[in-house]
């Protein structure tokens, strides 16, 4: 992949990030951890991932959280009311925060920053166009619609939720947008109680699905040619793997058991890793290494009230724009402290949203 045009795009996106950052609360002062003493990872080379990935993956995951909010939002509210521009601002704020968190501790990861620039830039364009369209055309057809939702509106809500479930286990560009496009033209008729709204939604959704299908295909080719096909598993070294945990977590694959009782295992990646990490923490299993790393790992939580974060480094605080009273906190701690942190946070009533497993 030729990086020059992409680097230019990333640079332009970085300028946008600095401008948008001024619209949000500043990132809290960073608490630094002492660097981890050099060690030889037990995970084989292909299972190791760069230590800064735990931070750099946040913008990608924000593009999971945003559709998740949208899927919930349009169940009982108008699509035109969704805060597209607010989400653009939060996406760039998140990028600014993770850049701030990594710039002093890790070498600049050019390839990853370019990739973030591409996805954040394209999302900025997409959300900007959707905001403009919904603010004008969408509001008009909503106003003249009879009843709460047309068949096309209901299909859009169903597909939005299917898309979010898919993102828990696979990158967005692997989603088959042609399938919902076919459903749009075979499961909804050409006439409804609100024909103008139905026809307008057909146009809107057809354009959206076709554009994402084409763009997703391009991104998939670029990603796989540059980075290869991503493994669906994360290599983890545990201090032990008790029988009860083996029964509760059958998807974990034991690769090697060491003389001291510690084990090298494969744990399902992406959102499934969070569920497994929480379960292992409840079994009081200790994490010794994740994807070849023993240094800092980042998690995000959703909280309604105050959360005592003094033991950990706070990377980012953001309100959940469509869920008043709730906010997202991104925190980091050493890998060795992850289980105790997960237990403590759950005990205080917060929701552990994601563990960023590099």
Q: What is the pLDDT of residues 326-341, one digit of tens each?
A: 999 999 999 999 999 9
Q: Does the pLDDT value for residue 272 go beyond 60? A: yes
Cα–Cα distance for residue pair 169/270, rounded to 1 Å: 6
Q: Does the pLDDT value for residue 60 go beyond 90? A: yes
Q: Where are the beta strands (DSSP E) in the chain?
A: 233-238, 253-257, 263-268, 287-290, 296-303, 313-319, 327-334, 351-356
Q: Supply the angle between the helices 271-282 and 338-347 in degrees, to the nearest 10.
A: 90
Q: What pLDDT does residue 230 have?
A: 81
> Residues for the chain: how many in total?
358
Q: Per-residue pLDDT averaged across 116-139, rounded?
A: 97
Q: What pLDDT does residue 29 have?
A: 44
Q: Per-residue pLDDT averaged across 132-138, rounded?
A: 98
Q: Does the pLDDT value for residue 34 go beyond 70? A: no
Q: Per-residue pLDDT averaged across 50-66, rounded?
A: 97
Q: What pLDDT does residue 306 have?
A: 86
Q: Using 50, 70 and 90 to split pLDDT, how confident is the model at 37?
A: low
Q: Per-residue pLDDT averaged across 249-272, rounded?
A: 96
Higher-confidence residue of 190 and 39: namely 190
Q: What pLDDT does residue 5 have?
A: 41
Show the tokens assigned to 145: 């619609």
β-strands 287-290, 233-238: how paired?
antiparallel
Domain boundaries, the chain: 4-227, 233-356
Distances 150 to 78, 106, 120, 328 between C-alpha atoms, Å: 12, 51, 32, 33
Q: Per-residue pLDDT averaged across 82-97, rounded?
A: 98
Q: Using 50, 70 and 90 to split pLDDT, how confident is the model at 226?
A: low
Q: Per-residue pLDDT averaged across 24-36, rounded?
A: 46
Q: What is the mean pLDDT of the chain?
A: 90
Give 166-225 pLDDT, tens digit per residue: 998 888 999 999 999 999 999 999 899 899 999 999 999 999 999 999 999 998 888 777
| Sign of the CA dihedral running 15, 17, 18, 22 | positive
Could you count the other beta carbons within 10 Å of the beta carbon of residue 76? 9
Show the tokens assigned to 339: 């289980």
Q: Does the pLDDT value for residue 145 go beyond 60? A: yes
Higher-confidence residue of 8 and 340: namely 340
Whether 147 and 190 have beta carbons less than 8 Å apart is answered as no
Cα–Cα distance for residue pair 327/329, rounded to 1 Å: 7
């Amino acid at each position: 992949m030729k990086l020059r045009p992409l680097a230019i795009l990333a640079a332009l996106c970085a300028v946008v990030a600095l401008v948008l950052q001024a619209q949000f609360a500043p990132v809290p002062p960073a608490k630094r951890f002492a660097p981890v003493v050099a060690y030889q990872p037990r995970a084989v080379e292909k299972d190791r991932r760069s230590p800064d990935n735990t931070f750099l993956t946040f913008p990608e995951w924000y593009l999971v959280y945003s559709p998740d909010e949208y899927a919930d939002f349009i169940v009982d509210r108008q699509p035109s009311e969704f805060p597209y521009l607010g989400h653009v601002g939060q996406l760039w704020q998140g990028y600014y925060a993770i850049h701030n968190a990594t710039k002093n501790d890790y070498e600049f990861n050019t390839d990853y920053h370019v990739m973030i620039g591409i996805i954040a830039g394209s999302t900025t364009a997409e959300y900007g166009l959707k905001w403009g369209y919904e603010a004008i055309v969408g509001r008009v057809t909503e106003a003249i619609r009879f009843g709460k939702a047309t068949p096309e509106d209901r299909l859009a809500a169903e597909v939005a939720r299917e898309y979010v479930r898919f993102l828990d286990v696979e990158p967005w560009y692997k989603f088959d947008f042609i399938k919902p496009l076919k459903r749009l033209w075979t499961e909804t008729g050409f006439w409804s109680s609100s024909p103008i709204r139905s026809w307008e939604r057909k146009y809107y959704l057809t354009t959206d699905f076709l554009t994402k299908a084409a763009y997703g295909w391009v991104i998939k080719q670029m990603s796989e040619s540059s980075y290869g096909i991503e493994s669906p598993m994360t290599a983890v070294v545990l201090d032990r793997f008790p029988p009860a945990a083996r029964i509760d977590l059958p998807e974990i694959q034991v690769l090697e058991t060491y003389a001291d009782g510690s084990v090298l295992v494969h744990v399902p990646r992406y959102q499934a890793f969070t569920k497994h990490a929480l379960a292992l923490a409840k079994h009081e299993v200790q994490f010794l290494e994740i994807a070849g790393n023993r240094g800092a790992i980042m998690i995000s939580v959703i909280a309604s009230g105050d959360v005592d974060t003094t033991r950990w480094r706070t990377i980012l605080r953001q309100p959940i724009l469509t869920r008043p009273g709730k906010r997202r906190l991104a925190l980091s701690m050493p890998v060795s402290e992850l289980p105790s942190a997960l237990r403590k946070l759950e005990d205080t009533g917060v929701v552990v949203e994601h563990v960023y497993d590099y």
